[in-house]
Structure 1
């Protein structure tokens, strides 16, 4: 068994549980920038069990421009329709209900965005929509700016997870909000799923090492030169980061250094000659 197989199979004993549903993969694949010809390849290489989708891609009738994504997603995959395009809580609720009617299931990713320049979420409207939809039996995963008070409000409203942004949507800037995400990891009891801004597998790995529960990525994969290969790279990075978190990362030294081998302890032994003298002695004894 090779290293990648060992990492992947170890996740079966460490499931991700969202809204009472169990998943062995911690990689949520965004599909917003994928053509239908690459959706299946990306899903296969990512090992993803949840894939996001814009409702308009399920209701578009399979036209050449958008296609019907339901035709490209295997039945075994859990659909996570998002409320992309909603500018108010009421619009988000309406889109979520439409997704359910289209047969997309009860999972929904809430996005309420009024800011057209930076695409930052409207946290207050997101809490409002979450409360309505959770009461209707949806498994609600809200996209949010990482704020502890808002995250607590979302959990109280019935959110099954919280999805803080790492950086603005599509920016590939990485963990710009790292410190705030760490606070959520420490304080929030539902899964914390990092969404938006992750641009490299190494950044996904770093986030998982922090203790987040899952990663959602779209742009970083869709804009790669080889989409299936990048999806696989993210899969391995996420699994490795989770394994490292569970193993317990080593302590971080504030300054100085620490010997990696006890054999180097003689450097601190006052009875040993100075390094230069010892080197000369050793050389002379050859």
Structure 2
């Protein structure tokens, strides 16, 4: 039985979203994306505009993969810039999906929580299906949900750091508070075990780029993440054992069968 979920009504079977930047070559990117089994690929109009010279080859590769496109507003520092980039992306890539990114501080590229909410409201009212990249702040998450966002993408840690889930409590609080909202951990995932941890919490998917693109063998790392996400999801559905305060023997002797061996 397929364990599917949906993004604004679009059914997906793969819970791994991957980025299209930073790969050593277009061919390695293509091989890694195929190996990952991802059905959603993120891309930025600021880096891969198919209407500009040099962008056509990249665009052809992405189209050949038959994936859903998730344009992002990477690099935007204001509401106006983010909204304008989203509108250009919709026209060029022919999708109303947008991963809304709005940098609040260049030190750790933390999303600006206030302007993010403002931009999300504008784009939702314009018919966009907004996937906001936010911090793990529960109150900001609530504001985004109340505006109409059906998907949230809280960070695990600052983008590109590979530090994993710095605040598991905060991420778990968002999951528990919004059981019916699609939640995707985005940024900071460095190794497959980080992805397993997020999926065991009940998160719906993982979005990553650098961890695959910068691996010594991107295709092999893509496969590792694919399996990790499947393992984490399976563990969440199975239900983990409760932690105990003291040791308990896994093979109790009372009321258990006894086999006697005689020489």
TM-score (ref. length: structure 1): 0.84
5 Å matches for 1:208-247? 208-247=199-238
Q: Please say if residues 27 and 216 of structure 1, whose CA atoms lie closer than 8 Å, have aligned partners that are also in contact.
A: yes
CA distance in 2, matches of 1:148, 1:93: 24
Higher strand share: 2
Structure 1, unpaired ranges of 5+: 1-9, 267-281
5 Å matches for 1:50-199? 50-59=40-49, 61=51, 69-73=58-62, 74=64, 76-188=66-178, 189-199=180-190
**Larger-gyration structure (1/2):** 1
Q: Please say if residues 18 and 42 of structure 2, whose CA atoms lie closer than 8 Å, have aligned partners that are also in contact.
A: yes
Q: Give the C-alpha shift of residue 61 in structure 1.
A: 4.8
Q: Give the C-alpha shift of residue 260 in structure 1.
A: 1.4
CA distance in 2, matches of 1:206, 1:168: 17
SS of 1:53's partner is: strand
Which residue number in structure 1 is paired with residue 21 of structure 2? 32
| Alignment of 1:15 onto 2:4 | yes
TM-score (ref. length: structure 2): 0.91
Question: 1:223–1:126: structure 2 CA closer, same or farther, 3 Å change rule?
Answer: same
Which residue number in structure 2 is paired with residue 273 of structure 1? none
Q: State how many pairs are aligned.
A: 256
Q: Please say if residues 136 and 170 of structure 2, whose CA atoms lie closer than 8 Å, have aligned partners that are also in contact.
A: yes
Which residue number in structure 2 is paired with residue 249 of structure 1? 240
CA distance in 1, matches of 2:94, 2:166: 32
User: What's the Cα RMSD here?
Assistant: 2.0
Structure 2, unpaired ranges of 5+: none
